[in-house]
Structures are given as C-alpha cells and as structure tokens.
Structure 1
Amino acid sequence: MGLRSKEEVQKAIRAWLKRTEKAFDPDFDMLVEPDLQDRWKSRVGLPETSRGYHGVSQTSAYYALSLLRANEKTERATRILRRVLEARVYDEASPRYGEFKLIYEALDDDVLDSNTTFFVCFSLLVAAFEYGARLGDELVTEIREACALIPPEKYAGDLSVGYTNARLSKCCVNLAICEWIGDWDRFEVSRRHFNHFYDVNMSRGIPERLSATYYMVDFVALGLIFRYVKDLEIRQKSQRLVTLFLQELFFFGDRQPIPARRTYNQNVGA
C-alpha cells in the first residue's frame, strides 16, 4: 500500500473534472443528478432546468472544490458554491433548519439523506480555509454563516456501530465549525462525542472494518480535524485514531470487500 504523490493526486483530480464536465448544467451552475432513486421521486419538486435534477453534496460541492484544487475556473466554482448554499432548509420551525439537501429540488424541509450536511461541509470548510482568498471575503462569510446554522449533534451514549463513519464525521465537522465561529459550548459537546468515539474504538477496533467506503470517509473527517482544529488534545487523539485505521487497513487489506457495500464513488453521468 503506497501513498500517491501530489502530482498523481492532481492528475486524478483533473481527469475526474474532465469526465464530470458534461454533467455540468451552465443554466443553473450545478451538476445534474443522472439517476434519481425511486424512493426520492415523490419527495422532490419539478427540476429547475430541462437538464434534470441537481445534486448538491458529493456532486456539485465536490466539483467546486476540485475546480479550486486544480486552479481551474474559479468563477464557476464560486457560482456553484453559492448554489450549494441555497440548497438548505430555511424554515426556522423545522428540526432540520440549516441542514443541506441532497438534491436541490427536494421539497420543503426534506433533506432526503441526513448525512448530506457533513458531506457538503467537507467541501465548504476546505474551500473556505484553503481557497478563501480566491473566493473572496463575502462568499467566505456566507459559508461561515451557513455552517453556524447547522444543528449541533445531540450526545448519545450508546456503544453501537453508530460511533463509526457518520457519527464520527458529523463530530469532526462540528469541531471544525465550532472553533471557526467561536462557539465553545457547542465545541465541548462535540468534544464529548469525540472522546466517546475515541475510547470505544481504541479499545475494540473499528466495527465497520469491512466498509472500504467508510474508512475513506473517516480518514477525511480525521484529516479535517488534524489540519484545521487547533485543540491539542483533539489533534493528538485524531493522530492515534489514524494510526489505528492504518493498522487495520494493513491487517485486513486482503479482505476488504470489492465493491464496498455502500459507496460514494459518484456516477455523475459523465
């Protein structure tokens, strides 16, 4: 198992951007979602353009970040991110207030998938922290304000598999957001989440070790902490968790399922 060089990563990003280009809808500044799942068809309104429905998280948001990473079409990336910021629940009376929708055209406060918000934040936070100078102060402020509205995670003291993947990712996103906006009460709730996850998984290993998908999700989440969160205790524990993940990957390397049971390698119709 070897690490890719920066040049190899950049080459892979550019190749993905080239394939994805044909899914871009210039009339709405988002990527078209090629295959709307049957379970969602009754939960979306009419598409915004004749091209079809528009994906938000692992499609448009990642596309915008990839454009920034490749130093291509910054103006387009900016327009996409503004569209992504529109794809939120605006009803203050809704328990989903502030969350992002999986499909832009999702009705009312239906986000379709509760994991969408942390996937979107992977892109928004990195875009703001790494490429803020290119995006401009106004858009970075809009991203910061949108992140501040994301509902905090409620603490749950169970020891279930829920303390892997989605729960960890939401926790890591919240830690990064709370430091950014200076919400220290919320930061301490997220710290409690994180410490619970750390204690459970350092003692028993990662329960969902057979999901190659969620290993990658967890790596991204921990990388977000290690790069952007300043709290020393959290950073040190993140480093130990990454070490544990790597040990398990090496040990179970020849037994990883192909393909993973759940995969976020997106088919964007390109």
Structure 2
Amino acid sequence: MPKNEIFLQSWEKSIQTVREIFAFCLVLAEHGIYDERIERYLSIAEKMQDRDEKSKTYGNFKWYFNSQKIVDLNSVEFSLREGFLLWIRHRERLNENTKQILEGLLKTGIKGVLNHQVLPRYTNIFLVKTWNLVAYGENFADDKIKKLAYKMLDEWLEYTGENGIREYNSPNYYFVDITALGLIYRYTHNDEIRKKSEIGLKLFWTDLALNFFEPAGRIGGSRSRDYDYIYGKDGVEQLLSYYGWLERKKNIALDYLIKLSEWKPPLEISNLRKKYPRFIERKIGARKGEWACHYIGKKFSLGCCGFCYSPLDKPLVFLFPSKDLANGYVVFDARNDPYGEKPEKQPWSGFEHKVCLHLVPFITASQHRNELIMYASIKADDPSIPRIAPVVHGFYTHFVFPSVQIFKDGKRIYLQKGEKIDIGIDDVLILKHRSAAIGIRIFHATDLSGQKPAIYLINDGNKYSVLRMTVVHSDKKKDAGTGEIGFYIAGKDDVNSKEGIKMFHKKLKKVKITMNRNNNDIEILKNSVVTMRFNPEKWQIMVDGNVSDILGFNGKDIGKKILTGGKL
C-alpha cells in the first residue's frame, strides 16, 4: 500500500470534527483520490450544518461529531477554509452529486460566516473569515460579499497599523494567520488585494524572523495564546520546517495547507533571524500596557509583555540554546496545573473544548533589553475565576524552567526527585546552560492575607525534566484576599566559569529595587529611578515600559515601514 494511503487511513480513523471532514476531503482530492469517501463525508457535514434559516447559527456547523448543538462559532470559518479550496481546485473532477452537496454547504455556510461578527483584534478568525469571503465573492460572482471581503482586509491592515498584531507571537495561530493571508494571495482574482495580502505576509514573516531563536529552534518571547506550556512550539513549527528554518519533517498533516498557501519569505526577511543581539519592541493593542518586548542574545532569549492577554497566554518566556529543553515561563495558577497537563471543559465554551487555563491577574512590567521587572496582583474574588477554574485548588505563581545548572546565591545546588528547598525574598537564583545564564530574584511577594508566603524550589519528578519555583499565595480556595508578586529577571551571555557566575550574582544582587505605596498607587523604582507606577485596584497603569512601535527592531519600527509599503 502506498505511504500516502497508509497516512490517509490513519488520519481518517482519528477524525472527530467537521473541520477535519473538509480537510480530509481536500487532501484526498489533492492526492488525486476522488472516491466515495468525499461524498460520504460531505454528507455527514450536511447533517452537522444548521439549515434552519430562522436560527441565529444558520449556516454554521457543530464542532464535534457528538456535539448536541453549535457552540463554537469559529467552526464555519475553519470548515469553509478548506471547503472553498476543494471547490476552486477540484469541483470539475467531483461527481455531480458530490459537487451539489459541496455547493450547498458553501452557499449555506457563507451565511454562517456573515452572521458571525468578528473584530479585527481577533486576528486569526478575522483573517480566515476574510479568506472565506474573498473565495465566495469571487468564485460565486457575489459583488456585495466581494466588496465586504476587500473592506475587511483594509480594516485589518488599518487596525494593525495603529495597534500592532493583537493576537501576537502565537505558535498556534500564526500558522492560521499566515496560511489565511497566503490563500488570499494565491487565489484572489484582484491584483490590489494580492498586494495587500502580501503586506500582511511580510509583516507576519518579519515578526517570526525577529522572534525566532535559532539555537532553540522555536520562537521566543511572551505570546498571546499558547497551548504548549512546556515547549511553546505547535503549529508554527510546521511552517518553519516547510520553509527550511527547521529540519524537515515527514507526513505533517497540515502541510497541504502550507503548500496551497505558499509564500516564501525573501532573504531580507528570513535573514533577520540570524542577527544578534536584537531587541524587539511591539504594540499589541491601543491601551497603556498593551505591548511586548523580547531580547535575543547569542545563547538566550528573554521576553515579557505589559499585561495579561488571556488565560492561554505566556506573559514571560525565556529560552536556552537547545531544541530539546523546555522553555522557561511564569504562570499564575488556580487549578494546580503548572505544566498544562490537566485540560478541563470550561463553562464559557459550553463544556465543549478541553483546555488548560490559568488566572488572568493584573500585570504590569518594564523590559530594557536583557533585563525586566514584572509585578502581578492576584485577587481571590476576581470574577473571571469561575470560568477559568471550575474547581479552585489554591492560588500560585509558578516559575517553570528546564533542569539545567542551578545556583542559589552563587552556590551550585542539586535537587533530587521529590526534594524541595525554601527560597527567600531577594534570594538570587541563577539558571545556567552552556554559556548562557538567566537570573531570577523575587523582590516582593505576599499571600492572600498580605503576609509572607511560602516560596520553594522543587523537583517534583515530572516527565519534562523541569524544575519549578512556586510562590504559594494560598494552598486552598478562598473567596477574598489579594496576593502579590514582584520579580526581577536578567539574562547574560558568555558566563563560562565559576567566576562568571559569581560576577553575575553580584550584579543581580546589587540592583536596588524598592516599592512605594500611596494608598492603592504603587511605584517600583530600580536604582532610585521610577520604572513603574500603577494602581492594581483600578487596573490602571501610569508608568511602565511604554512601547509605541508596531514592530520595532533595535530601535527602528520596521513594522510601520512594511504596512506603509516601505522596504526593510
């Protein structure tokens, strides 16, 4: 049996969603297989589509085969993405009955797309919706929908030109964004729209190149949404592999979508990933604090953002030079799930999708190249908690990092499985791998009662070879109280000896960080200079690491240049 058929049979057995139906039918056709399976699966999709014209979800699809109702409205966008490709590329080779079924799915489905209201800040769905409308408007001669599609692309470019890419640096959704823009580029009949989609592609690929840390084989820095707590790779890895930034992998299930949306970044963009050091600054919204920064040295990467984007984000990430080591990250947790191992069905999604969510506390930060300060305020009565943690197990801040060389206050320490040691306020923890070092110093922390919390470093014997430093704001559910955490982190290259560790420790310890309070207004000073001023009770930021660039690289806003049609 041919390898392709073996792969397709294996994939077919795992299909559970309507979007996979459309994807599988497209891939069959791309392999020149026009057998009865396409008609059979599209008939199943018919049964999963809402055909009631009076329904609010008319044209949309149930997500899973066993879904009782339509919950996730994104289902129609993801399904028609491949559905239109099947129509554009293969309709002439489908039998008449299959063709009629597909046409009905698309013509009804476009109503679901139109009924689904999406803002440009919801980057991935907005761009997939735009592709669907372009494909329908141009291929079904619907001028009204075609004009709406073109307007949406203009709207996204305008929004991004003012606010930056909102759903930023996501290893999951950059795959969706780039392939959506690539499909518009490859299949639109309109030359002007092709040029505009290429502007978007240039922006995303420049973003990827700048944030790609080649020694670790992945993107670094904070990110808006990331389902892979430990490694932070996911879908974008397939893109990077396809275009030669990573070792090529075989039988990647989503390669078909990359191939059909192909747009290879030019060398002037892809070579940005080889420039060291680099400091990336970017807006990710219109409000104060909605920014992210990322420093990439020769052998480490360190980045944070100025606010908590979502219960799926990573507000801080650091990387060492290894494709196998876990990423370092901080997570604010109420589910006793520091490694993202315990997905739960959440009330806000109609108990349909299982995901690992963390708390969304007030966060503010400031990053200057290879060093940063971050503060977070965790409130037990935060109204978002019931939809994030159906069962609260406590309130924690976890620093998770690979099990590399560990130094506490300049001395090497070793933790056996099950062992933990106490960490004090202003203790300096240094993590070292090869010649790179990351220093962590908690300068302020409280439990939910405002008292000194337990802080410990532990080797809990997990399967990922990671260690964890945990601040216990509460070890059980409470209905009131506020816990705080403030920390300073810095990275350094060329730490090659015990003396290097000693000097780095001395430098970290020497940094003077103070917190001043005036009622609920808080100031954080670094070496007597105000770095941050904020009011966590009002979720108000007055002073932080303010960023104005759309996508800044070593002091130049190349994102703005790209969006205005300029060269890098």
Q: TM-score when scaled to structure 2?
A: 0.36
Aligned residue number for residue 48 of structure 1 = none
User: Amino acid of the residue matched to residue 244 of structure 1?
Assistant: L
The alignment partner of 1:139 has SS state of: helix
Offset of residue 241 of structure 1: 0.8
Residues 178 and 186 in structure 1, CA contact (< 8 A), matched pair in contact too: yes
Aligned residue number for residue 114 of structure 2 = 153
Residues 171 and 193 in structure 1, CA contact (< 8 A), matched pair in contact too: yes
Aligned residue number for residue 260 of structure 1 = 226
Residues 51 and 58 in structure 2, CA contact (< 8 A), matched pair in contact too: yes
Residues 168 and 221 in structure 1, CA contact (< 8 A), matched pair in contact too: yes
Deviation string 1:119-139 (CA, Å, 9 cap, x unpaired) is 111221111111223323443
Residues 101 and 116 in structure 1, CA contact (< 8 A), matched pair in contact too: yes
Q: 2: CA distance between counterparts of 1:113 and 1:130?
A: 28
Pairwise CA RMSD: 3.1
Give me the identity figure in percent. Answer: 25
Deviation string 1:109-160 (CA, Å, 9 cap, x unpaired) is x32211111111122111111122332344334323332222253797966x
Residues 144 and 181 in structure 1, CA contact (< 8 A), matched pair in contact too: no
Aligned residue number for residue 126 of structure 1 = 85
Residues 179 and 229 in structure 1, CA contact (< 8 A), matched pair in contact too: yes
Deviation string 1:152-177 (CA, Å, 9 cap, x unpaired) is 53797966x32x11111112211211
Residues 88 and 99 in structure 1, CA contact (< 8 A), matched pair in contact too: yes
Residues 99 and 117 in structure 1, CA contact (< 8 A), matched pair in contact too: yes
Residues 62 and 75 in structure 2, CA contact (< 8 A), matched pair in contact too: yes
Residues 184 and 197 in structure 2, CA contact (< 8 A), matched pair in contact too: yes
Q: Select 1:60's aligned residue among 6, 18, 21.
A: 21
The alignment partner of 1:212 has SS state of: coil
More displaced stretch, 117-126 vs 83-92: 83-92
Residues 169 and 208 in structure 2, CA contact (< 8 A), matched pair in contact too: no
User: Amino acid of the residue matched to residue 184 of structure 1?
Assistant: D
1:200 aligns with 2:163: no
Check 1:62–1:212 CA distance in 2 against 1; reply closer, same or farther (3 A cut): same
Query: If each structure's strand is expressed as a fraction of its own residues, which one has the higher value?
Result: 2
- Superposed counterparts of 1:114-193, under 5 Å: 114-149=73-108, 150-151=110-111, 152-153=113-114, 161-162=121-122, 164-193=123-152
1:22 aligns with 2:23: no
Greater RCO (Cα-Cα under 8 Å, separation 6 or more):
1
Check 1:157–1:91 CA distance in 2 against 1; reply closer, same or farther (3 A cut): closer
Q: 2: CA distance between counterparts of 1:248 and 1:91?
A: 42
Deviation string 1:212-244 (CA, Å, 9 cap, x unpaired) is 111111122112212222122211101111111
Offset of residue 247 of structure 1: 0.8
Q: 2: CA distance between counterparts of 1:157 and 1:134?
A: 34
User: Amino acid of the residue matched to residue 145 of structure 1?
Assistant: G
Check 1:65–1:157 CA distance in 2 against 1; reply closer, same or farther (3 A cut): closer
Residues 18 and 65 in structure 2, CA contact (< 8 A), matched pair in contact too: yes
User: Amino acid of the residue matched to residue 190 of structure 2?
Assistant: D
- Superposed counterparts of 1:231-246, under 5 Å: 231-246=190-205
| Residue ranges of structure 1 left out of the alignment (5+ in a row) | 1-10, 24-30, 34-54
Q: 2: CA distance between counterparts of 1:138 and 1:21?
A: 22
Q: TM-score when scaled to structure 1?
A: 0.71
Residues 103 and 112 in structure 1, CA contact (< 8 A), matched pair in contact too: no
Q: 2: CA distance between counterparts of 1:116 and 1:156?
A: 13
Residues 88 and 98 in structure 1, CA contact (< 8 A), matched pair in contact too: yes
Offset of residue 93 of structure 1: 0.9
- Superposed counterparts of 1:33-112, under 5 Å: 33=16, 55-57=17-19, 59-72=20-33, 74-107=35-68, 110-112=69-71
Check 1:166–1:138 CA distance in 2 against 1; reply closer, same or farther (3 A cut): same
Say how many residue pairs are matched: 222
Q: 2: CA distance between counterparts of 1:15 and 1:237?
A: 40
Aligned residue number for residue 211 of structure 1 = 170
Query: If each structure's helix is expressed as a fraction of its own residues, which one has the higher value?
Result: 1
Q: 2: CA distance between counterparts of 1:124 and 1:18?
A: 20
Aligned residue number for residue 113 of structure 1 = 72
Q: 1: CA distance between counterparts of 2:116 and 2:98?
A: 31
Residues 12 and 24 in structure 2, CA contact (< 8 A), matched pair in contact too: no
Check 1:73–1:141 CA distance in 2 against 1; reply closer, same or farther (3 A cut): closer
Deviation string 1:80-110 (CA, Å, 9 cap, x unpaired) is 1222233100111112111122123433xx3
Check 1:247–1:118 CA distance in 2 against 1; reply closer, same or farther (3 A cut): same
The alignment partner of 2:59 has SS state of: coil
User: Amino acid of the residue matched to residue 261 of structure 1?
Assistant: Y
